[in-house]
Chains A and B, each alone.
Chain A
Amino acid sequence: MIFIFSCKPKLKESKPITGEMNPASVVFIGGNGLGNYADGALNLEAQKNSVSNLLAQQLGLVGGEKLTQPLVGNQFNGFGLSSLNSTVVTAKSFLDNKVDCKGITSLSPIKPNSNATFSDLKASVPSASYTDFSVPFAKSYQMLLTGYGNPGNTYYNPFFERFAKNKSTSSIIDDALSTNPSFFVLQPGLHDVLQYAVNGGASDSLTSESRFNNAIDALVNRLTSNGAKGVIINVPDVTKFPYFNTIPYNGLTLDQTKVNDLTLVYNVISNGSISFSVGANAFVAFDPSAPIGARQLKDGEMVTLGTPLDSVKCNFLGSLNPFENRMVLSLTEIAAIRTTIAAYNDKLKGVCQQKNLALVDAFTFYNSLFNGIIYNGNTINAQFVKGGAFSLDGINLNPIGNALLTNECIKAINKQYKSRIPQLNANQYPGVVFP
């Protein structure tokens, strides 16, 4: 007996402590930053591994209730939309070998045919008192709009229509408050900059600082009016997402023959403003302000993953046929996005201090991903596919990325409310799935 005793050393887990927060009724309000949308679509697996679901699970250790989510039926391979103006539903991507236009096989994200229609996306999920208001594409001020799920309105969002309490009149904030939250998780501001960035600054717009500030004040005032406490997740620097950093600005690799061909064409029209040499060259993109309406990209400018790569490889896109504006973020656009994010985050920091709310510094967390982190022996960074943190759309996180962000939320809550909620073992959550 003594043998067995001595051979089993014991350590004690510390007990979870609720602290100065009340997790009895928790509501989540946000956009894709809560992780329900990944691999290019709202999908069941992402919802199950979302920040909202993972955080609710950990809050359950201090008495929180289970999260109620408007889950995508498992018969559908995802509800993806390229924008809120689109009615073409796309499936979530997966990784597989793909033969490109040059006959070279490599691992690439593949989008299967969607098995869902726009009506499937819009169709109501069973009516329930949902507590996860992660609504893809929802900008901060749109969370306050009544009739946000009403197709009659120009600002209508079909992802909210799916589970709005009242399709014609509900707002996200009204429905969220109807659950009488004692604690809230608010993730505002991502889509206020993301849609503009994803479209290369060619469509959509950055939400103005004043509009954002007003929206935040209104949201927080209403959420805290009955004394609820909460946590706000700030905005990451979206320009560092793999979506903007996988194709280099000078990814145009040329041999002598191609240099000769392109020089022949551009010498005539560009007056020497566009030139090529053997090796790496800056891509050519349309720019109305350039003397000939097109110019070569500058160091620091970004080509998005929305660019058709086969056309780049085989059809002279980005050289003979310049990139369209929507495929490129210019230095001016990048600066505008970053300035806006900094202003949003100042506002969110101020509100948290003023209202004694916990602030999750997602900006810093994402920056650490961009630099690369090692989590319990697991090396994770923001490199597309290989880095492990981002899903195949290059914008939204993987389950393991969500788990790491959830841990940041837990740290912020523990610090602000003197609670002791255990973090997740993020290594239990998968990254990119390989064939």
Chain B
Amino acid sequence: MKNHLSIFKGLFIALSLASVTLKAQGFQVNLQGQKQQGMASAGSAFVQDESLLFYNPGSAAFVMKNGLNVGVSPTIPNTVYLDSAAQIMSRTESPVSTPFAAYALFSPKDTSRFRIGLAVYTPFGSTVQWPSEWIGRFAITRLQLKTIFFQPTLSYQVTNRIGIGAGFVNAIGSVNLQKDIPVINSNGVYGRAELDGRANGYGFNIGIYIKATKQLNLALSYRSQVNMKVKDGRANFYVPEGLAPNFPNGKFTSSLPLPQVFTFGTHYQINEKINLVADINYVGWKAYDTLAFDYETNTTSLLDTKSPRLYENTFAFRLGGQYTVNEKFQFRAGAAYGISPVQQGYVTPETPDANRFIFTAGVSYLIATNLQVDASMYFTQFTRAAINYESNLRGTFKTAVLAPGISIRYQF
């Protein structure tokens, strides 16, 4: 038992140092629970483990044991861009990112209808690093968005068939944006801009769970929009000396809306071995209308920017199944289709988004009565022939994302 606990500690430390990232529809990350990930991130109505604190706090009311659950999904994104006029290829050098999710869920007493939970997870993020001197260097060279949500949650069994839950979200995050400036010095070095700032915001996560029949369960959940505000960002410009007065280093403010998500989930138990889940997400991306940077000191060369994003609200459809082999082993598979919120004309190299199919698989293994390991694999690939009206980039983006994940669950 002691050993198991120290594994947990180690993981927690590793995770708290890790960063957050992945592109999956906009810059939303759908990797918050290994069991759900194995079923294409569906399963908000399937009561299995503590990750329901994220997927549906209402369903979490029916998780029977206390538990700790910690997982990570190293994400390997790779985008290639082919400029249509020059037929020049550029490939991102984005680092592997590590979205994580950690959950703790307790009952005050064994007989209590209440559950108290804490969820820490990374629902949005993205790191894109384009090679130096790529054709779009004056639009973007690097963007890193990180968010971590802390969500204390209370869940309650209203009846034996209905559960509700609500969590308060405190979000912290950071943004780092870099691009080259088209001014050159006598050594042939171009100017560069780096915007760096910390952000925070608030929101909530609520849900209801209904055991409709013996076999059919339903879930309805809502995660609110979180407006991440950068108040005290730092803008640094590295330009030829003669131009330094035109590009004063200084503060900037900005904000980024993380969209609200409605989810309708169903779970159908065919028999003791086979479970099916289907979820629909409706994501309020319309909130991401403009990306604006407001510099404290403006000059004729450094004006505030307002870049149109004009994202649209969008759906994702998720289907998955779980097969229980025996007391120790479970296997899962899933597929999803996600519709891109990004309209033609507004695709950017930092989020080269497209409609996509997602394929996943997963496995669980019970090491000991109280200790379970879950693992999953996520893969998607999508292509977008894109124009951007703001930068006039014209070309084709092709992105592949591979995200293997693992989590450990301890029950007591």
Q: B-contacting residues of A (Cβ < 8 Å)?
A: 3, 6-14, 95-97, 107, 373-380, 386, 388, 407, 422-425, 427-428, 430-435
Min Cβ gap B180→A in Å is 9
- Contact: B78 with A7, CB < 8 Å? yes
Q: Residue-by-residue, is B167-195 near A (CB-CB < 8 Å gives 1, otherwise 0)?
A: 00000000000010011111010000000
Q: Residue-by-residue, is B381-397 near A (CB-CB < 8 Å gives 1, otherwise 0)?
A: 10100000011110010
Interface of chain B residues 88 through 134 with chain A (CB within 8 A): 88-89, 91, 133
Contact for B392 among A6, A97, A375, CB less than 8 A: A375
Contact for B138 among A378, A407, A424, A430, CB less than 8 A: A378
Total number of B residues with any Cβ neighbor in A under 8 Å: 45
Known: A3-B402, A377-B138, A425-B135; 18 extra A-B contacts, CB below 8 A, are A9-B79, A9-B80, A10-B398, A11-B80, A11-B82, A11-B383, A11-B396, A13-B87, A13-B89, A96-B242, A374-B392, A377-B140, A377-B391, A424-B86, A431-B182, A431-B183, A432-B183, A434-B241
From known contacts A7-B400, A7-B402, A379-B182, infer whether A434 and B240 are also in contact, taking CB-CB under 8 Å.
Answer: yes
- Contact: B78 with A427, CB < 8 Å? no
From known contacts A107-B242, A377-B136, A377-B392, infer whether A6 and B400 are also in contact, taking CB-CB under 8 Å.
Answer: yes
- Contact: A425 with B182, CB < 8 Å? no
B391 CB contacts on chain A under 8 angstroms = 374, 376-377
Of all chain B residues, which has the CB nearest A375? B392
- Contact: B182 with A388, CB < 8 Å? yes
Min Cβ gap A18→B in Å is 15
- Contact: A422 with B87, CB < 8 Å? yes
Min Cβ gap A4→B in Å is 10
- Contact: B85 with A423, CB < 8 Å? yes
- Contact: B186 with A14, CB < 8 Å? no
- Contact: A377 with B137, CB < 8 Å? yes
A-B contact pairs, 24 of them (CB 8 A): A3-B76, A6-B381, A7-B78, A9-B78, A9-B80, A11-B396, A12-B82, A107-B243, A376-B139, A376-B392, A377-B136, A377-B138, A377-B139, A377-B393, A378-B138, A380-B182, A422-B86, A427-B135, A427-B137, A431-B182, A434-B240, A435-B186, A435-B240, A435-B241
A11 CB contacts on chain B under 8 angstroms = 80-82, 89, 383, 396, 398
> Closest 3 CB pairs between A and B?
A377-B139, A434-B240, A377-B138
Of all chain B residues, which has the CB nearest A5? B400
From known contacts A13-B82, A96-B242, infer whether A430 and B188 are also in contact, taking CB-CB under 8 Å.
Answer: yes
B304 at the interface (CB under 8 A from A): no
- Cα distance A422–B83 in the bound complex, in angstroms: 10
- Cα distance A376–B76 in the bound complex, in angstroms: 27
Give the most central of A6, A388, A434: most B CB within 10 Å.
Answer: A434
- Cα distance A3–B239 in the bound complex, in angstroms: 41
From known contacts A6-B379, A427-B138, infer whether A378 and B182 are also in contact, taking CB-CB under 8 Å.
Answer: yes
A6 CB contacts on chain B under 8 angstroms = 379, 381, 400, 402
B399 at the interface (CB under 8 A from A): yes
- Cα distance A386–B399 in the bound complex, in angstroms: 37
- Cα distance A431–B379 in the bound complex, in angstroms: 43
- Cα distance A84–B379 in the bound complex, in angstroms: 68
- Contact: B138 with A376, CB < 8 Å? yes
B396 CB contacts on chain A under 8 angstroms = 11
B242 CB contacts on chain A under 8 angstroms = 95-97, 107, 434-435
A373 CB contacts on chain B under 8 angstroms = 392
- Contact: B182 with A407, CB < 8 Å? no
- Cα distance A377–B391 in the bound complex, in angstroms: 4
B76 CB contacts on chain A under 8 angstroms = 3, 7
A422 CB contacts on chain B under 8 angstroms = 85-88
Of all chain B residues, which has the CB nearest A429? B184
From known contacts A423-B86, A428-B133, A431-B182, infer whether A376 and B393 are also in contact, taking CB-CB under 8 Å.
Answer: yes
- Cα distance A425–B395 in the bound complex, in angstroms: 13
Of all chain A residues, which has the CB nearest B91? A8
A3 CB contacts on chain B under 8 angstroms = 76, 402
- Cα distance A9–B400 in the bound complex, in angstroms: 6
- Cα distance A96–B391 in the bound complex, in angstroms: 30
Of all chain B residues, which has the CB nearest A435? B242
- Cα distance A430–B179 in the bound complex, in angstroms: 16
A8 CB contacts on chain B under 8 angstroms = 78, 80, 91, 400
Q: Residue-by-residue, is B60-94 near A (CB-CB < 8 Å gives 1, otherwise 0)?
A: 00000000000000001011111101111101000
- Cα distance A407–B394 in the bound complex, in angstroms: 15
- Cα distance A388–B191 in the bound complex, in angstroms: 14
- Cα distance A433–B80 in the bound complex, in angstroms: 31
Min Cβ gap B169→A in Å is 32
From known contacts A9-B79, A9-B381, A11-B396, infer whether A434 and B182 are also in contact, taking CB-CB under 8 Å.
Answer: no
A428 CB contacts on chain B under 8 angstroms = 133
A13 CB contacts on chain B under 8 angstroms = 82, 87-89
- Cα distance A9–B402 in the bound complex, in angstroms: 11
- Contact: B85 with A9, CB < 8 Å? no
Of all chain A residues, which has the CB nearest B186? A433
- Contact: A425 with B390, CB < 8 Å? no
A10 CB contacts on chain B under 8 angstroms = 80, 398
Min Cβ gap A390→B in Å is 14
